[in-house]
Chain A
Amino acid sequence: MSAPRPSGVLMDLAEKAVRFGLACGADEIEVGAGDDVEFGVDVRMGEIENLVEAGTRSMGIRVIKDRRTAFAGTSDLSPDTVERLIRGAVRRAELANPDPCAGLPETSAAAVDPAALDLYDPEIVALDPQTKIARARETERIALSDSRIVNSHGASYDTHEGHAVLANSRGFLGEYRKTYAGLNVSLQAGETDDLVEDFWFSSKTHLAELASPEEVARKAVARTVRLLKPRKIETQRVPVIFDPMMTSSLLGFLFGCLAGTAVYQKATFLAGRLGERIGRETINVIDDGLLPRGLGSSPFDSEGVPTRRTVVVENGVLKTFLCNTYAGRKIGLPTTGNADGGGVGPGNFYLRPGPHTPEEIIRSTPKGLYLVRTLGHGLNPVSGDISRGAFGLWIENGEPVFPVSEITISGNLGEILNGIEMIGSDLEFDGSVCGPTIKVAEMQIAGRS
């Protein structure tokens, strides 16, 4: 297949909407439009359960008049609806209060070449449905061939092709295309009253990098059966090792606490800590929107600001917050090209890997918890407090000895950043927020009395 075709239709729609907004009296207007093509198949117990195929188009609009802002969005792209929404937004803007920080970003001379990011894989677009169905089936079949696996929530193969266009009244006009393929399987093991479950997945922008059905199935089986016959442990304070998925989840929480939008609202414990040491010297946190083939990469953000690589935490010191134009103006920092809808979103946000293999980290632990899964929502960005249900493996003398469940772990993100004793070398980019294995000196576990 050849290079992606330029699609003038979407660009025309966006540019036309910008012109219409200015004609209606907007001082500034920004219009994002997207075309999305989705395919998904869920296979369960060998049979297709769901087969989904669809294409959709949508548009998002921001209007500024006298430093007052109004938004609109629609999946009905008929000219009548689009024009009605734009006229309405210009009128509604007058109801808001003037805000000196409101407005579109300054025009930037710099631009990122979408082709250099390599986000579009024609092989994903060309892949036929039968192959996708076969790969989902194969993944589940391999997993179920292990006698310890008693049931399956199913395996899925999903592909997505997106085309994003952005135009604004300051003359920005950009577009890029991005593909995605994902394979996952979710399993159960154990007796009816003593079930354990876990899953594994692979997701990439390029087909060649996607894990094979074998790899996904074997990892899902291993992750599930290691939880069989769990015990509940006593309430105590011990070191906790986060597996990469758990580190990624912790980093997702950290991202929210580093968002400029949370800083001006004082909705993060890190507000006011710029330039301070917030973690150990070994901690380096980076947001890189330019990672080639990255799931979180894009040439520009949702305001048309070129994306970039930002070192957020360097040797434990908080260097900047991640901002869109508005949050940047509020807190006196430049935008970092992280605008995402009305808020702030990650590029590829990760903790720089360290020197240790995960095995070394486990071996170094005389007694502790190897955390593999959490349950629940106990994250408080204002205080940094964490409290969640936990599943994991109990470590004694550097070896996993039995699985544990029905416990909770709790701590505080600020204390955790200062308590990370070891960082693993096993960073993998399988999402837009990723981290390697880490070991935290001590956290509170609640279990039996």
Chain B
Amino acid sequence: MSIFEDRFSLGPADFQAVLGAALSRGGDFAELYFEYRAHSSILMEEDILKETAESVGLGVGVRVWSGEQTGYGYTNDLSPERMIKAARSAAAVALTGSAIPPPAVFIPGRPLFGLYGSIDPASEADLGRKIGLVREAYDACRTFAPEIVKVKAGWGDLVQHVLIVNSEGLLVSDIRPMVKLTCVAIAEKGTVREYGFSGGGGRAGLEAFAAGRTPAGIGREAAEEAVRLLEADDAPAGEMPVVLAAGHAGVLIHEAVGHLLEADFHRKKTSIFWNKMGEKVGSDLVTIYDDPTIPASRGSYAVDDEGTVPRKILLIEKGIVSGLLTDRLSARIMGRALTGHGRRQDYSEIPIPRMANTYIAAGPHDPAEIIASVKKGFYAERFTGGQVEDSGKFTFSVSAGRLIEKGRLTRPVKQATLIGTNVDILNRVCMAGTDLEFGLQTGTCGKEGQEVPVNDGCPTLKIGAMTVGGRG
């Protein structure tokens, strides 16, 4: 039983009443999205544990479709009167039809099982234990080198309860955990000051930090980046071969390909890919998936925010456009299957097609061989994010990299933006490594003002030529 039924005493009669109000003026479909989130955070800086915070988010969003039009109302007061009022606001979009009765019975949906690694749930853990993890990251960062002058370590954990009920009779709930630990280091030498960042987490409990990416490791990584950048030169400016490091560079795939295969941009024909289904747009080495079902990964979910069980989707197969990420609206209008990619920031937002965990598949090349193949180029190692527009022009920002000279990694360089047009870049992928890795489990993607957690991955990749925008 969900928290909404249990703690807020909502039941089928309430769902029927609200859905009935939503369909009181007709319409093709109505849906209720109940959300309860409990968030807790810790901040350590200036060598002290500075503050803790706890917040609760509660609300319901009511959606009504009339043809291709969406009406939406929401409230954070779950009293019957307020929910009915939100439903009537959503119903305003349907002007003509006569009332449609709500479903007589609701059929429980079946979310994926065992996706979240909450062996040790953060929401139930003692705050002192979480503070211990933050201190461990902070101390490892602070003591890494004498050049480290400031450190900031932050913790956040979230448990999000959702319940989706719709006019087709679906009733499905999910409880999604999330943890995140981040560390920022500032290093100083003379008048030069630089910063480094690292983090970890996922849809998991405290066990996410037990092995592999430990808090101390995260602290040291942030410190190492800041210290290294003190000695770094400006990145070069101009067109040159670019090698992307495995892992973090998945953000390039997210920007260059993922967004343009979200179905809303196809329905509206604004994406450069809208008429390229089945066409070859990249080299044979480019095979891209979006997979919301990777256990414990930040972008994963057992059921999407419209109640659809998600699937792993092949987006690009050996350079050929093969798949789209759909939400209910685009699937219905375009006559395509649901893929389970309808997501929303919270109950106050209308769901839209979004990525989950997007990655480019491993290729045949030894990563060392990829570096060795470049006479003079740029090795992009750490990233701060990217952006794309529908025309396919995209950028992504590199915080740290190295020069490649005569097949070897040489001087560290800092701060550069890489820019390109997606089709050009996909065609120029000329080597792909065997070493597929995923990013830091700290990523957030923004679209139409809505932020959702995502993750990306990629192997070492070589792009024959790309514009590198350093300070020269």
Give me the interface of A with B, judged by CB distance under 8 Å.
44, 47-58, 69-77, 81, 85, 88-89, 92-93, 95-99, 129, 151, 153, 188, 190, 192-197, 232, 235, 237, 264-267, 269, 271, 342, 375-378, 380, 382-383, 385, 387-389, 405-412, 444-449
* Also in contact, A376 and B56, with CB within 8 A (given A53-B89, A58-B76, A129-B92): no
Within the complex, the shortest CB–CB distance from B77 to chain A, in Å, comes to 7
Q: How far is A49 from B152 in the complex, measured between Cα atoms in Å? A: 43
The 8 Å CB contact of A377, one of B53, B70, B397, is: B397
The 8 Å CB contact of B419, one of A77, A382, A407, is: A407
Report whether A375 and B59 are in contact in the complex, using a CB–CB cutoff of 8 Å: no
Q: Which residues of B contact A92 (CB under 8 A)?
A: 52, 54, 127
Number of interface residues of B (CB under 8 A): 86
Tell me the nearest residue of chain B to A195, going by C-beta.
B391
Report whether A405 and B393 are in contact in the complex, using a CB–CB cutoff of 8 Å: yes
Q: Which residues of B contact A377 (CB under 8 A)?
A: 384-387, 397
Q: Which residues of B contact A194 (CB under 8 A)?
A: 391
Report whether A376 and B48 are in contact in the complex, using a CB–CB cutoff of 8 Å: no
Tell me the nearest residue of chain A to B237, going by C-beta.
A446
Report whether A55 and B75 are in contact in the complex, using a CB–CB cutoff of 8 Å: yes
Report whether B49 and A192 are in contact in the complex, using a CB–CB cutoff of 8 Å: no
* Secondary structure call for the A interface: strand
Give me the interface of B with A, judged by CB distance under 8 Å.
36, 45-46, 48-59, 68-77, 86, 89-90, 92-93, 127-128, 131, 149-150, 152, 184, 186, 188, 192-195, 235, 237-240, 268-270, 272, 274-275, 348, 350, 384-397, 399, 414-421, 423, 467-472
The 8 Å CB contact of A96, one of B52, B55, B90, is: B52
* Also in contact, A85 and B468, with CB within 8 A (given A54-B74, A151-B268, A376-B386): no
Q: Which residues of A contact B471 (CB under 8 A)?
A: 385, 387, 410-412, 444
Q: How far is A44 from B67 in the complex, measured between Cα atoms in Å? A: 14
The 8 Å CB contact of A99, one of B48, B52, B195, B235, is: B48
A-B contact pairs, 7 of them (CB 8 A): A71-B51, A74-B55, A75-B59, A76-B57, A151-B268, A197-B389, A446-B239
Q: How far is A383 from B416 in the complex, measured between Cα atoms in Å? A: 13
Q: How far is A176 from B357 in the complex, measured between Cα atoms in Å? A: 43
Report whether B70 and A51 are in contact in the complex, using a CB–CB cutoff of 8 Å: yes
Q: How far is A110 from B471 in the complex, measured between Cα atoms in Å? A: 48
* Also in contact, A376 and B397, with CB within 8 A (given A76-B56, A95-B127): yes
Report whether A410 and B416 are in contact in the complex, using a CB–CB cutoff of 8 Å: yes
Report whether A408 and B417 are in contact in the complex, using a CB–CB cutoff of 8 Å: yes
Report whether A193 and B272 are in contact in the complex, using a CB–CB cutoff of 8 Å: yes
Q: Which residues of A contact B188 (CB under 8 A)?
A: 266
* Also in contact, A380 and B51, with CB within 8 A (given A54-B348, A196-B391): no
Report whether A235 and B52 are in contact in the complex, using a CB–CB cutoff of 8 Å: no
Within the complex, the shortest CB–CB distance from A122 to chain B, in Å, comes to 21
Within the complex, the shortest CB–CB distance from A277 to chain B, in Å, comes to 16
Report whether A51 and B69 are in contact in the complex, using a CB–CB cutoff of 8 Å: yes
Report whether B268 and A44 are in contact in the complex, using a CB–CB cutoff of 8 Å: yes
Report whether B397 and A378 are in contact in the complex, using a CB–CB cutoff of 8 Å: yes
Report whether B420 and A406 are in contact in the complex, using a CB–CB cutoff of 8 Å: yes
Q: Which residues of B contact A89 (CB under 8 A)?
A: 54
Q: Which residues of A contact B55 (CB under 8 A)?
A: 71-74
Report whether A85 and B56 are in contact in the complex, using a CB–CB cutoff of 8 Å: yes
Report whether B149 and A375 are in contact in the complex, using a CB–CB cutoff of 8 Å: no
Q: How far is A407 from B238 in the complex, measured between Cα atoms in Å? A: 9
Report whether B419 and A97 are in contact in the complex, using a CB–CB cutoff of 8 Å: no
8 new A-B contacts, CB < 8 A, other than A378-B395, A447-B239, are A44-B268, A51-B92, A53-B89, A77-B77, A96-B50, A271-B193, A387-B417, A446-B469
Closest 3 CB pairs of A and B: A408-B469, A376-B395, A389-B395
Q: How far is A293 from B452 in the complex, measured between Cα atoms in Å? A: 34
Report whether A53 and B468 are in contact in the complex, using a CB–CB cutoff of 8 Å: no
Q: How far is A201 from B76 in the complex, measured between Cα atoms in Å? A: 30
Within the complex, the shortest CB–CB distance from A143 to chain B, in Å, comes to 14
Report whether B49 and A96 are in contact in the complex, using a CB–CB cutoff of 8 Å: yes
Q: Which residues of A contact B417 (CB under 8 A)?
A: 376, 378, 387-389, 408, 410
* Also in contact, A376 and B385, with CB within 8 A (given A49-B69, A387-B416, A389-B419): yes
Q: Which residues of A contact B49 (CB under 8 A)?
A: 95-97
Within the complex, the shortest CB–CB distance from B429 to chain A, in Å, comes to 18
Within the complex, the shortest CB–CB distance from A253 to chain B, in Å, comes to 13
Within the complex, the shortest CB–CB distance from A188 to chain B, in Å, comes to 6
* Also in contact, A54 and B86, with CB within 8 A (given A75-B57, A97-B50, A375-B387): yes
The 8 Å CB contact of B395, one of A49, A266, A408, A445, is: A408
Within the complex, the shortest CB–CB distance from B434 to chain A, in Å, comes to 30
Q: Which residues of B contact A389 (CB under 8 A)?
A: 387, 393-395, 417, 419, 469
Q: Which residues of A contact B59 (CB under 8 A)?
A: 56, 75
The 8 Å CB contact of A56, one of B54, B75, B397, is: B75
* Also in contact, A54 and B149, with CB within 8 A (given A49-B69, A81-B56, A375-B395): no
Report whether B385 and A56 are in contact in the complex, using a CB–CB cutoff of 8 Å: no
* Also in contact, A375 and B467, with CB within 8 A (given A47-B68, A265-B45): no
Report whether A264 and B46 are in contact in the complex, using a CB–CB cutoff of 8 Å: yes
Q: How far is A185 from B396 in the complex, measured between Cα atoms in Å? A: 26
Within the complex, the shortest CB–CB distance from A327 to chain B, in Å, comes to 12
Q: Which residues of B contact A382 (CB under 8 A)?
A: 186, 193-195
Report whether A267 and B195 are in contact in the complex, using a CB–CB cutoff of 8 Å: yes
Report whether A95 and B50 are in contact in the complex, using a CB–CB cutoff of 8 Å: no
Tell me the nearest residue of chain B to A236, going by C-beta.
B237
* Also in contact, A267 and B186, with CB within 8 A (given A47-B68, A58-B76, A406-B419): yes
* Also in contact, A188 and B469, with CB within 8 A (given A378-B384, A408-B395): no
Q: How far is A266 from B467 in the complex, measured between Cα atoms in Å? A: 32
Report whether A69 and B237 are in contact in the complex, using a CB–CB cutoff of 8 Å: no
Q: Which residues of B contact A447 (CB under 8 A)?
A: 238-239, 467
* Also in contact, A380 and B195, with CB within 8 A (given A266-B150, A408-B419): yes
Report whether B54 and A88 are in contact in the complex, using a CB–CB cutoff of 8 Å: yes
Q: Which residues of A contact B73 (CB under 8 A)?
A: 52-54
Q: Which residues of A contact B150 (CB under 8 A)?
A: 265-267
Q: How far is A227 from B408 in the complex, measured between Cα atoms in Å? A: 40
* Also in contact, A446 and B470, with CB within 8 A (given A53-B89, A380-B399): yes
Q: Which residues of A contact B192 (CB under 8 A)?
A: 383
Report whether A188 and B470 are in contact in the complex, using a CB–CB cutoff of 8 Å: no
Report whether A265 and B186 are in contact in the complex, using a CB–CB cutoff of 8 Å: yes
Report whether B195 and A72 are in contact in the complex, using a CB–CB cutoff of 8 Å: no
Q: Which residues of B contact A192 (CB under 8 A)?
A: 272, 274-275
Q: Which residues of A contact B389 (CB under 8 A)?
A: 197, 375
| Interface-central residue, B45, B50, B390, by most chain A CB under 10 Å | B50
Report whether B237 and A75 are in contact in the complex, using a CB–CB cutoff of 8 Å: no
Q: How far is A389 from B50 in the complex, measured between Cα atoms in Å? A: 37
